[in-house]
Structure 1
Amino acid sequence: MKKTNYNTKSWFCLLSALTLLLVITVTGCKDDDKSPDPTLEIQKNTMSFLQTGGNDVIEITTNQNWSFNTPPAWLTLSETSGKKDATVTVTATENKDYAPREFTLIVTAGSLSGRVVVSQPGLDPVLSVNPKNIGFEVDGGTETVSVTSNVTWTPQLSDGADSWLTITVSEDKTGITITSAPNTTAEQREATLTLEGNQEKSDVVTIIQDGPANMTITALRALAANSKTDYTYVTGLVTSDNTGKNIGDNQMIIQDGTGNAITLQFTEEHNIAPGTQVDVLLNGGSRTTVNGLTTINNLKTANITSVPTATITVNPTVKTIAEILAGEAGDGLLVKIENVEFKDITQTYGNQPILWNGTEELPLAVAATATFREQKVAAKNGAIIGHITNAESWKLVLRNTEDTENMTNDRLYDKSRLKLSIVSYAFGNQGGKLPVDITIDTDITWTATVSAGAAWCTLQPATGSGSGSFIVTTEAYSGDNERTATVTVTAPDLDPVTLEIIQTPTAKREFVLSRWSNSNLGAKLPATEENMSGPDYKDTWGMYYQWGRNVGFPHSGAETTIAANESITAEQAQEMTEFITSNGDWLTNPGSESVWNDRAGSYPCPSGYRLPNQMDLLRIYPSSEDKGTFSNFQSVVIYERLEDRPGVPDRTLYVYEGNSKIYAIKKFETADAYILRFEMLGEVGKNLYLKITEILADENTVFDNATDAEALFAEATESEVRIFPAAGMLNMSDGATLLAPGAAAWYWLDKKMRCMYILNTTRINEAGAICGYATPLRCIME
């Protein structure tokens, strides 16, 4: 095997050479490979953005690698790290907050670093309204304000304003709707609407609403009837005193300083004392007349404001009776009448006594509720105070008896007077007796005499002293012409008084029924048996009237209705075409009227006719329910007053058939007797009617059974007939429903709530009914 021998000397030489070479190489590199120093330059060290945001750049110059610290979310960098030179875009988002924001960007390059302070402002807070002033008229309304805002806000009304203002904020918060209620106070009112926002921002809207207009008493009196007085007020001094209750607890009379007065009527009682100056809001009121006083009615006591210090002074206006009677003092005026006295000092105030000055006379108006009604009138002469009213005639309304406290002088016009209870009377040809009362306030002797040539008229007694009476007796008369006599009563130093006596000759008697119309008021057909049996029997029913209203409605019902309310006056109702629905009286503020004419002012009947009164009805009708019941069998004689005259009432004989007929002799056993037959005919529920037949009789006429009575009608050569359809009545609650047609009837009388009543075949009598119902009318000749 071949063996290689290595030369030791050669390896040593090679090692030495390599070592030398290494030393040379290392020694030569030290100066040539030295690194440069790091550099970093930033073009700006601050950066500002608008609130809306934007872009900006940072120029970086470096020989190093670089990087930025982590920015907040509202800042973004186009590059967050790099090598050597670079341009970095910085982007800021919109600052939607109100606080400014700031951040320091730090760029690091090797051992070096640089800073850029970045800033951005916040929002500028805004809150404003437009317009800043709003005005409302007195009757209210709606206005809108616009809102400009970048802050959160809350609306707030000033204290108490929410009682008359309502606000509504739009969904986008850019507007507010303001609604004002009508101003029911007595003056202008003001409020503020404040918008309170954050960032200490706020704005205010000032709101003013007009107050009601001031109306003078003169202007109120000049208003037309039923004129409304909403959104007005009146100022005056209270001159009435309702504690005396001679006016209503709810009435007040006020006066200005120039002699004008107006009456205010409230819906409830008030307690305002006389001498108080008041401002009264007249919302809801209307101009009317109540008991002769010009009145604003339907007012609320809550709308009375008492003025702490009165600026109006009122003293009673001095007037004479002559001036008052001439209309020179307006109604409601507080007057003072001097040198007067009561004509009859035996009377109480409730007798409606008469004031006089020896020549002119002025009656007092004293209510049934007056606290002094039962007191005797002031006995002396002097000055009296009171309010003037024009209820049918001029009268004086006392407040209380203090109004007579200055009547302390001796009487000036005092003179005893004779007074007779009746001043004229007509006797029939049969003659008769007439009691006459004499009133005198002394025990002086009086004498009564009959005019010459009137021996047919005698007096008993013919003389006396003080108050007393005598009887006038007349003989029967068979002459052809009317004869007269004068009874004169005299007393020493007194004015004589007279009584006129008339006696009529024998004349052809008239039927009592002849004065009654043969048709219901407004009927298309007269009420005859032929028409009642025909197909058009409903045309005999006529129009239907609520008591005290001259407005008729057909049996088919009213076309329009209106609910009863306090604004409807009796005068207004005569012109209205609506049926006034109610649960009672259609007039919610009824006065003291007791007959139709007092409420309506007239009758709805044609000229020469009127509505029948209770005595008119009694002359042709049974006097009570039991006397008008058809099922009776007995005969009876009763007293009935058929004439409005003194003396013993007339008598009536009733005889019953027991089914559907009643017979009656009115004025039984007198020369003026007449016989009535009452029959219920037709079909119940359809054309039922009452037939009344009259024949004449005398003092010798008598019967005690239906057969004999019927025989008299068969023998009579003359008769009078009136037919009354059972036409029902319109329901007061709706004015449309006809109650009991063909089964019952109600015919209004002149007297309030009284009527002629027919109940199918059961009975006929006078009855009561509520004023709100509408019934047919049958008129009678004057």
Structure 2
Amino acid sequence: MKKTFSTPTRGLSIFSTLVLILSLSLSGCKDDKDEALPTLEINKHSISLALEGGSEEIILSTNQSWSIHTESSWLTLDPASGKGDAKVKVSANKNTDYQLRETTLTITAGSLIEKVTVSQPGLEPVLSVNPQVMEFEVAGGHQTLAITSNVKWTTSFSEETDWISLQVSADSTSMEITASPNTTTESREVTLTFNGDQHKTAALTITQEEPELATIAELRNLTANTKTDYIWVKGLVTSDKEGKNIDEKNMIIQDASGNAIALQFTTKHDIALGTQVNVLLNGGSKTTVNGLNAIGSLSTALLSPQPTPTITVNPTVKTIANILAGEVADGLLIQLNEVEFKDITKTYGDQPILWNSSEELVLSTLETATFAKEKVSDKNGFVTGHLTQNGGWKLLLRNLDDVKHMTSPRKYDKPQLKLDANAHTFDQQGGEFVVNVTTNSSVRWTVNVSANADWCTVQPSSGTGSASFTVTVAAYAGTGNRTATLTVTADKADPAIVEITQTTIGQREYALSKLAESNLGAKLAATEENILGPNYKETWGLYYQWGRNVGFPHTGATATVPASEEITAEKAQTMTEFITSSNGDWLLNPGSATTWEARAGSSPCPAGYHVPTKDDLIQFFPSNEASGTFATTQSRVIYEKLVDRPGVPDRTLYVGDGTSKIYAIKKFETADAYALRFEMLGQIGKNLYLKITEFLGNEETYFDNATDAEASFNKATATEVRILPLAGMLSFQDGVTLQAPGAASWYWLDAKMRCIYMLNTTKIYENGAQCGYAQPIRCVKD
């Protein structure tokens, strides 16, 4: 402890000594003892108080009266003055400032002084947020941000942002952040910065996922009324609003893969032909517009033209026969070569007919079209336009440029003969059949019956212009089929032919008889008894990756190996492992193989059978999605090119009950007609199956509603039945996960990535699937 004293001065002068002696003599009545000297000592000269406040003591030792003085109001001294020894409590409250507080205490005791420094640290500035990254789904939404801070702050965005809104809580400890739906075609990101006092900052990164990019093919495969929110599509506009042969609110787009779809907006658009567009499909749904697959109820505000097209679309060259056979999708921009208008006196608005001397196709032209009142071209050449199935297949011209290449001389003004039947089959009982002849003039024609066919006669055997003749076939008791050829000729006209066949008892076969009765590798036959029994899964058979002749059970593969450069198509045929992949194909170098045997080298089916082709499929299955959708199939007749009559489009009548049954008459209005009934039975998610029933008919077989169709099947004396279980498929990612068992199924076709698709009670039709999936196979007889 420091001591402070008052010390006598040394070296007195003679004068001072005399004064001192005199003083002592005069004070002889006082105490002889010397008076005590002043002292002051303290136990510390510095004090550090905590940020949160507190107190410390100073211990004073003095023989004097004392006081303590400070200039700072944040300190409390207790006591601040006194006499003699004492303890002084130095106190301070929490420092709520960010600066260090310092002051000096001056302690005075008589003539003595001591000083004590007192300090208290300032607040540490704090500003932080949690989380630091916030992710929103494409639909937007609300999320809460926690804020920890002891400084004042403001916020700013890294860029101008209109899709984020902020709401700060009353105590500023949280913030509600709201993201609006992403109506762009890209993901988006912005940084929210908190700028605080004391140079403190914090940042939040906000991201929002982009809408899903869908291909046009995927949109076409949507079921009716499916919503398309948060999906976008890109394509090249192939329709022409300036030609006005399409509603001003509609457009048709096509992508490089050769798929097209119509888009219907709620207001007029101003997008020109040849513009590439990105379209967000929010608010839309799958529909049909004037015979076109379409997405309807769209907003033009979500339509974005692209400055530089990256998609190139060239018309696809097709024939009228291709179109009538249902081999061309609606909306597609096509080119028809060497065609001409049948009647050159008509205008484009008269719905004129294009033809190639044998097949005909109607033009569909709106009254609003700029060329509706123009006379049709009187030349031959190629025509471009969109296909629509509005009351039958029709061609939709865009403008007169679509016919500008009709510059060659006409070819088909010579007499033309067209028959409404090119072949007919009689059973052993014989009978009559009427053939209608259509000509483009009053030319006289003659019917000749092939030699040695006196059992087949025609009446009349000649005629003029458009007329008809009756074919009469006698009863037949022989063995083996017999045939006759009817040739219709006219001067300068190409002949027309009718092939007549008469069969004996038992000669006709069911179309379904070619389809194997069970799935490949199944332990139980696909019968209703088995599929409704406890071991129904044994009817599912083995599952095959496309182009691999190695099957896997429905329980999944016991061993897997990832796809690699070392695995070739040939090597994969002897491997027992499931080949997993991330891109959907088990073969990293797929090459150009487009059929099963081209990739695998052989068929997995037993001798005498093969993996079904598209031509096989059309004989006993709906040919397209519209015909195979249970809820929407209506009575209609379409052209289908059946495998056993190459080059000749047959007609098929379709009828639906609107729930779970579809009826069809293949080879409609011919002696070879046969009826099919498709019905979904069993329990969804368990043992759901498709039952196909067939009976053999003839040219008289007809029904135009589900009630009459069902009655026809009930009256049939003989039928053929096939059961196809909805067995799901094994995932290409792990070879173990069985997707949609008892709810959907994909049966492989011979063509790459094509399959028979069946979805609960919704639809049955040909669709696509990635090669890496493992799916069942139902073989077909060679």
Question: Structure 1 length as normaliser, TM-score?
Answer: 0.50
CA offsets 1:57-98 (integer angstroms, 9 cap, x no match): 112222322111155332111211222322211111111111
- SS of the residue corresponding to residue 220 of structure 1 reads helix
How far residue 103 of structure 1 moved from its aligned partner, in angstroms, is 1.4
Partners of 2:217 and 2:127 in 1: CA distance: 52
- When residues 24 and 293 of structure 1 are mapped into structure 2, their CA distance, relative to the original with a 3 A threshold, is closer
| Superposition pairs of residues 389-468 of structure 1, within 5 angstroms | 389-415=388-414
| Superposition pairs of residues 261-276 of structure 1, within 5 angstroms | 261-276=260-275
How far residue 153 of structure 1 moved from its aligned partner, in angstroms, is 2.3
- SS of the residue corresponding to residue 237 of structure 1 reads strand
- When residues 24 and 214 of structure 1 are mapped into structure 2, their CA distance, relative to the original with a 3 A threshold, is closer
Task: Report the equivalent of 1:183.
Answer: 182
One-letter code of the match for 2:270?
N
Task: Report the equivalent of 1:143.
Answer: 143
How far residue 350 of structure 1 moved from its aligned partner, in angstroms, is 1.0
How far residue 261 of structure 1 moved from its aligned partner, in angstroms, is 0.5
Q: Is the 8 A contact 2:260 2:332 kept in 1?
A: yes
Task: Report the equivalent of 1:249.
Answer: 248
Partners of 1:494 and 1:189 in 2: CA distance: 68
Q: Is the 8 A contact 2:414 2:492 kept in 1?
A: no
One-letter code of the match for 2:378?
A
- SS of the residue corresponding to residue 32 of structure 1 reads coil
Say whether 1:220 aligns with 2:219.
Answer: yes
* RMSD over equivalenced CA pairs, Å: 3.5
One-letter code of the match for 1:125?
P
How far residue 441 of structure 1 moved from its aligned partner, in angstroms, is 10
Partners of 1:440 and 1:69 in 2: CA distance: 128
Task: Report the equivalent of 1:682.
Answer: none
Partners of 1:23 and 1:274 in 2: CA distance: 129
Partners of 1:412 and 1:313 in 2: CA distance: 33
CA offsets 1:636-673 (integer angstroms, 9 cap, x no match): xxxxxxxxxxxxxxxxxxxxxxxxxxxxxxxxxxxxxx
Partners of 1:132 and 1:495 in 2: CA distance: 81
CA offsets 1:184-219 (integer angstroms, 9 cap, x no match): 222212223322222222211111111110111001
Task: Report the equivalent of 1:387.
Answer: 386
One-letter code of the match for 2:56?
D
Task: Report the equivalent of 2:343.
Answer: 344
| Superposition pairs of residues 15-26 of structure 1, within 5 angstroms | 26=26
Task: Report the equivalent of 1:38.
Answer: 38
Partners of 1:351 and 1:32 in 2: CA distance: 149
| Superposition pairs of residues 102-141 of structure 1, within 5 angstroms | 102-141=102-141
One-letter code of the match for 1:294?
N
Partners of 1:88 and 1:374 in 2: CA distance: 112
How far residue 172 of structure 1 moved from its aligned partner, in angstroms, is 2.0
Task: Report the equivalent of 2:363.
Answer: 364
- When residues 24 and 245 of structure 1 are mapped into structure 2, their CA distance, relative to the original with a 3 A threshold, is closer
Task: Report the equivalent of 1:298.
Answer: 297
Partners of 1:491 and 1:27 in 2: CA distance: 174
Task: Report the equivalent of 2:50.
Answer: 50
- When residues 41 and 328 of structure 1 are mapped into structure 2, their CA distance, relative to the original with a 3 A threshold, is same
CA offsets 1:556-579 (integer angstroms, 9 cap, x no match): xxxxxxxxxxxxxxxx9x99xxxx
- When residues 128 and 23 of structure 1 are mapped into structure 2, their CA distance, relative to the original with a 3 A threshold, is closer
- SS of the residue corresponding to residue 217 of structure 2 reads helix
How far residue 32 of structure 1 moved from its aligned partner, in angstroms, is 3.2
- SS of the residue corresponding to residue 218 of structure 1 reads helix
One-letter code of the match for 2:99?
A
Partners of 1:97 and 1:142 in 2: CA distance: 36
Question: Structure 2 length as normaliser, TM-score?
Answer: 0.50
- When residues 495 and 348 of structure 1 are mapped into structure 2, their CA distance, relative to the original with a 3 A threshold, is farther
CA offsets 1:662-687 (integer angstroms, 9 cap, x no match): xxxxxxxxxxxxxxxxxxxxxxxxxx
Task: Report the equivalent of 1:74.
Answer: 74
How far residue 417 of structure 1 moved from its aligned partner, in angstroms, is 7.8
Q: Is the 8 A contact 2:357 2:416 kept in 1?
A: no
Partners of 2:87 and 2:252 in 1: CA distance: 97
Task: Report the equivalent of 1:203.
Answer: 202
One-letter code of the match for 1:43?
N
- When residues 377 and 60 of structure 1 are mapped into structure 2, their CA distance, relative to the original with a 3 A threshold, is same
- SS of the residue corresponding to residue 305 of structure 1 reads strand
Partners of 1:114 and 1:23 in 2: CA distance: 34
Task: Report the equivalent of 1:282.
Answer: 281
- When residues 356 and 441 of structure 1 are mapped into structure 2, their CA distance, relative to the original with a 3 A threshold, is closer
- SS of the residue corresponding to residue 219 of structure 1 reads helix
Task: Report the equivalent of 1:326.
Answer: 325
Task: Report the equivalent of 1:683.
Answer: none
Q: How many residues align?
A: 421
**Any gaps of 5 or more consecutive residues in structure 2?**
1-21, 419-437, 445-463, 465-488, 496-628, 633-655, 658-782
How far residue 43 of structure 1 moved from its aligned partner, in angstroms, is 2.1
Partners of 1:27 and 1:213 in 2: CA distance: 114
- SS of the residue corresponding to residue 337 of structure 1 reads strand
| Superposition pairs of residues 245-644 of structure 1, within 5 angstroms | 245-415=244-414
Partners of 1:172 and 1:236 in 2: CA distance: 51
Structure 1 or 2, whichever has the larger Rg, is 1
- When residues 322 and 495 of structure 1 are mapped into structure 2, their CA distance, relative to the original with a 3 A threshold, is closer
One-letter code of the match for 2:66?
W
Partners of 2:387 and 2:65 in 1: CA distance: 115
One-letter code of the match for 1:332?
G
How far residue 492 of structure 1 moved from its aligned partner, in angstroms, is 8.5
- SS of the residue corresponding to residue 96 of structure 1 reads coil
- SS of the residue corresponding to residue 322 of structure 2 reads helix
- When residues 79 and 24 of structure 1 are mapped into structure 2, their CA distance, relative to the original with a 3 A threshold, is closer
Partners of 1:217 and 1:246 in 2: CA distance: 23
Partners of 2:198 and 2:27 in 1: CA distance: 76
Q: Is the 8 A contact 2:46 2:118 kept in 1?
A: yes
CA offsets 1:576-607 (integer angstroms, 9 cap, x no match): xxxxxxxxxxxxxxxxxxxxxxxxx99xxxxx
Q: Is the 8 A contact 2:125 2:150 kept in 1?
A: yes
How far residue 26 of structure 1 moved from its aligned partner, in angstroms, is 2.9
Partners of 2:248 and 2:416 in 1: CA distance: 38
Partners of 2:223 and 2:27 in 1: CA distance: 134
- When residues 313 and 494 of structure 1 are mapped into structure 2, their CA distance, relative to the original with a 3 A threshold, is closer
- When residues 57 and 45 of structure 1 are mapped into structure 2, their CA distance, relative to the original with a 3 A threshold, is same
* Structure 1 residue ranges, 4+ long, deviating more than 6 angstroms after superposition: 22-25, 416-419, 439-442, 490-496
Task: Report the equivalent of 2:83.
Answer: 83
How far residue 309 of structure 1 moved from its aligned partner, in angstroms, is 2.3
Partners of 2:141 and 2:105 in 1: CA distance: 60
How far residue 268 of structure 1 moved from its aligned partner, in angstroms, is 1.4
Partners of 1:85 and 1:383 in 2: CA distance: 121
One-letter code of the match for 1:120?
Q
How far residue 440 of structure 1 moved from its aligned partner, in angstroms, is 12
CA offsets 1:238-275 (integer angstroms, 9 cap, x no match): 11111111111111111111111001111111121222
- When residues 35 and 335 of structure 1 are mapped into structure 2, their CA distance, relative to the original with a 3 A threshold, is same
Task: Report the equivalent of 1:507.
Answer: none
How far residue 297 of structure 1 moved from its aligned partner, in angstroms, is 0.8
| Superposition pairs of residues 693-708 of structure 1, within 5 angstroms | none
Partners of 1:169 and 1:347 in 2: CA distance: 72
CA offsets 1:437-478 (integer angstroms, 9 cap, x no match): xx9999xx999xxxxxxxxxxxxxxx9xxxxxxxxxxxxxxx
How far residue 494 of structure 1 moved from its aligned partner, in angstroms, is 8.3
How far residue 181 of structure 1 moved from its aligned partner, in angstroms, is 2.0
Q: Is the 8 A contact 2:415 2:443 kept in 1?
A: no
Partners of 2:181 and 2:24 in 1: CA distance: 116
Q: Is the 8 A contact 2:363 2:395 kept in 1?
A: yes
- SS of the residue corresponding to residue 298 of structure 1 reads strand
- When residues 23 and 118 of structure 1 are mapped into structure 2, their CA distance, relative to the original with a 3 A threshold, is closer
Partners of 1:160 and 1:330 in 2: CA distance: 45
Partners of 1:491 and 1:30 in 2: CA distance: 172
Partners of 1:47 and 1:267 in 2: CA distance: 79
Identity fraction in percent: 56
Partners of 1:128 and 1:281 in 2: CA distance: 37
One-letter code of the match for 2:132?
K
